[in-house]
Structure 1
Amino acid sequence: MAVPRTVTGGNGQGARRRLRRPQRPRLWFEILLIAVSYWTYSLIRNAVPEQRAEALRNADWVWRVEHGLGIAVEQSVNHAVNSVTWLIVGMNYYYATLHFVVTLGVLVWLYRWHPGRYAAARLVLFATTGVALVGYYLFPLAPPRLMRGGTFVDTVLVHHTWGSMASGDLKNMSNQYAAMPSMHIGWSLWCGLTIFALASVPWMRLLGLLYPVATLTVIVATANHFWLDALGGVLCLAFGFTVARLWYGVLPHCLPRLVPAPQPPEPAPARTPSP
């Protein structure tokens, strides 16, 4: 007599294993996902109440904390770099463009050359960005260029460049008081670590390490962020890597470069007829 099989959670566990297994990314889905995700991120970020008075109070508090720690040199960096016109104009355009161009470029590189690691690396980036929204909501913060007293130079306004979505004609399109954490640092460090871990050419790995360092210099020199905003971006990225580690069991660079070929299903064992 055939013994009925007990229904267990095996099917659910199998589904979870399939979701966690690296899959070959589909171009149309990735383009749609990135577009919708960035639109949603921008919508939520800009929908957070600006809370100008609280953001200015928080900026004063951050500035006092940095003075207490002996790291409040943003103003000196801002004024020194602003005195070199070609350099600060270049940094304004760096701030406006590379944040998006390099991040998309790394995603394309992963999609093309590391498809087995793409989904996990993308999860790190998405989780990093998602948790940043919590920071924007809980801790509105004015960037240094908007602090009371006018001690910082808004380099975009002074040099008439479009280096910031929160300056000039674009200021009404973006929440000006969402400076903590800095996603310029979160994204650039994600790019840099990804390139350093996966690139095979030494000079490319070096560029990967230099990119977040250059970005840190730019966000401070243009008076768009404090040092502590950058620390917030690092913590968000650490959260993103933790999410990916918990989901996939390993960090993205430890996954196979190529998606493993699907294994054919094992044949069902032959059933012995009942006597």
Structure 2
Amino acid sequence: MPDTELNYTMPDFTGNQQFHSMPAWKLPGWVEPLVVASILFSFMFLTRRRNFSIASWSKTDSGILDSVDSTGSRDRLLGYEEGDSEHEDYITTSKHLPKRRNCFGTTVFLPNTTRFRNNIHSRLLQKFPFLIEMFYWIINYAFYRCTSIASQALFAKTGIWDVAQEHGLAVLEAEEFSVLSIFFPIRELDVQQWFMRDHQNALTFLNRAYALIHIPGTVGFICWYYYVAPSFNTFATVRRTMTLTNFMAFTTFIFYPCMPPRLLPKEYGFLDTVRHDDAESVWMSGKFVNTLAAMPSMHFGYSFCIGMTLVYHSGVFRRSLEPGESKKNAFWKMFYFIVGLGYPTFLLVTIVSTANHYFMDALVATCFVFISFYCNKIFYVFIPLEDLLLWAIRADKPAPTTGDRFHERGGRL
């Protein structure tokens, strides 16, 4: 594609105009995994089931678990709504009879795992239910790690680098010349050059923000929301939305590899400021990391989902409250509302100014979030598989403790 078609020119950085970052620093590779692990295990402990012993069985424990069974909350890990057919777990209340599930309109009978509730690993899960959430996100991360391998295998003959570059240039062309151009009045290159010319210290900060906020920030939000959410159903809706957004994005990474602006040929004018600033995250390196996964931007997708959750809980656009929610004063309404809008806005500026994503990447991610929100119950089809997995490992599914500790302390989101 000729350069003149896109009207992109190499920026002339000479003398004092050349991008000079702050003195480079790079975290040791073990720091970021340690931070993420610390967040996860801290909230695993914080959301533990109190007055429950892993090592010993007592009548108190029995009472707790029996009350769980009576409400059916043990089998609501995927977030069933009251009245859903999937919530009809047991044929009768008789001990250990099969569960009844609705799968694609067909009733299937699956093993009842309550007989395994006294196994040590079942009791570990009952004590720390957040371990299940950690398991779900490990699956997400494993799926992402596979996208690079799958995409390279798919485009082995044509050459994935050339295909990804072609897709990246196609995105720039669509933003500038297609009917979608009305949504993109500002070019990515202009944003990056504005920072490089006049706000280099700010760009240095954004480089590190891009590398270091995404994973810890998203993990931290999931943990915090599990701790404070007014109900498990509300939490599960958000978690399923983010998970489905992940899977849609990961599938796109495989079939539509897209080169980020920073990796395009130099004549297009973009600078890889994150690597230039030695601010690359440990999550951005390694042979399993997909560097050709610009479309869509999961940095923005996660932040948009988090932001809309906070806007929802601000209560600005709602007249009624969920059970477990408290009426907020004007300060807290505006706090949640401003943070809810500010976080995705900050990430949008970050991903574009560092030349890691196109504006269209953020638009597609936004569409994926909306689709995932309205279709998130599609994950109910995996309930039978979850039942079979629990049966295979001889474990019983724990009841979630979402919001319990927070509400016990008088907190109300």
The TM-score bracket by the shorter chain reads: 0.7 to 0.9
1:29 aligns with 2:132: yes
CA distance in 1, matches of 2:354, 2:363: 17
Q: Structure 1 residue 171: deviation in Å?
A: 6.2
1:39 aligns with 2:142: yes
1:159 to 272, 277, 295: 277
Contact 1:128 1:186 in 2 (8 A): yes
Deviations 1:171-212 (A, max 9, x none): 645222111111111100011011111244221321111100
Q: Structure 1 residue 258: deviation in Å?
A: 6.4
1:120 aligns with 2:231: no
Deviations 1:82-110 (A, max 9, x none): 23332111101111122122212221122
1:211 to 343, 365, 371: 343
CA distance in 1, matches of 2:166, 2:85: 49
Q: Which amino acid aligns with 1:151?
A: G
CA distance in 2, matches of 1:18, 1:178: 41
Q: Secondary structure at the match of 1:223?
A: coil
Which residue of the partner structure matches residue 86 of structure 1? Answer: 201
CA distance in 2, matches of 1:14, 1:74: 46
1:137 aligns with 2:254: yes
Contact 1:45 1:133 in 2 (8 A): no
Q: Structure 1 residue 47: deviation in Å?
A: 3.7
Which residue of the partner structure matches residue 227 of structure 1? Answer: 359
Q: Which amino acid aligns with 2:86?
A: R
Q: Which amino acid aligns with 1:230?
A: A
Q: Secondary structure at the match of 2:253?
A: helix
Which residue of the partner structure matches residue 187 of structure 2? Answer: 73
Q: Structure 1 residue 233: deviation in Å?
A: 0.6
Q: Which amino acid aligns with 1:120?
A: T
2:172 to 45, 59, 63: 63
CA distance in 2, matches of 1:207, 1:244: 25
Q: Structure 1 residue 161: deviation in Å?
A: 2.1
CA gap of 1:65–1:44, structure 2 versus 1, over 3 A, is closer
1:179 to 266, 291, 294: 294
CA gap of 1:150–1:35, structure 2 versus 1, over 3 A, is same
CA gap of 1:246–1:134, structure 2 versus 1, over 3 A, is closer
Q: Structure 1 residue 32: deviation in Å?
A: 2.1
Q: Structure 1 residue 134: deviation in Å?
A: 1.8
Q: Secondary structure at the match of 2:222?
A: helix
- Structure with the larger helix share: 1
CA distance in 1, matches of 2:302, 2:371: 13
Deviations 1:115-139 (A, max 9, x none): 4221221101100000111211221
CA gap of 1:177–1:133, structure 2 versus 1, over 3 A, is same
Q: Structure 1 residue 245: deviation in Å?
A: 6.0
Q: Which residues of structure 2 form unaligned runs of 5+? A: 1-82, 90-100, 102-125, 315-327, 381-401, 405-413
CA distance in 1, matches of 2:136, 2:361: 27
Contact 1:95 1:219 in 2 (8 A): yes
Q: Which amino acid aligns with 1:218?
A: T
Contact 2:240 2:379 in 1 (8 A): no
CA gap of 1:102–1:205, structure 2 versus 1, over 3 A, is farther
Q: Which amino acid aligns with 2:280?
A: W
Which residue of the partner structure matches residue 375 of structure 2? Answer: 243
Q: Secondary structure at the match of 2:213?
A: helix
CA gap of 1:258–1:108, structure 2 versus 1, over 3 A, is closer
Q: Percent identity?
A: 25
CA distance in 1, matches of 2:131, 2:277: 40
CA distance in 1, matches of 2:260, 2:286: 13
Contact 1:94 1:163 in 2 (8 A): no
CA gap of 1:82–1:18, structure 2 versus 1, over 3 A, is farther
Q: Structure 1 residue 15: deviation in Å?
A: 5.7
Q: Which amino acid aligns with 1:228?
A: M
Deviations 1:16-40 (A, max 9, x none): 13589xxx99212112222232223
Which residue of the partner structure matches residue 47 of structure 2? Answer: none
TM-score normalised by the chain length of structure 2: 0.51
Contact 2:227 2:403 in 1 (8 A): no
Q: Secondary structure at the match of 1:48?
A: helix
Contact 1:141 1:179 in 2 (8 A): yes
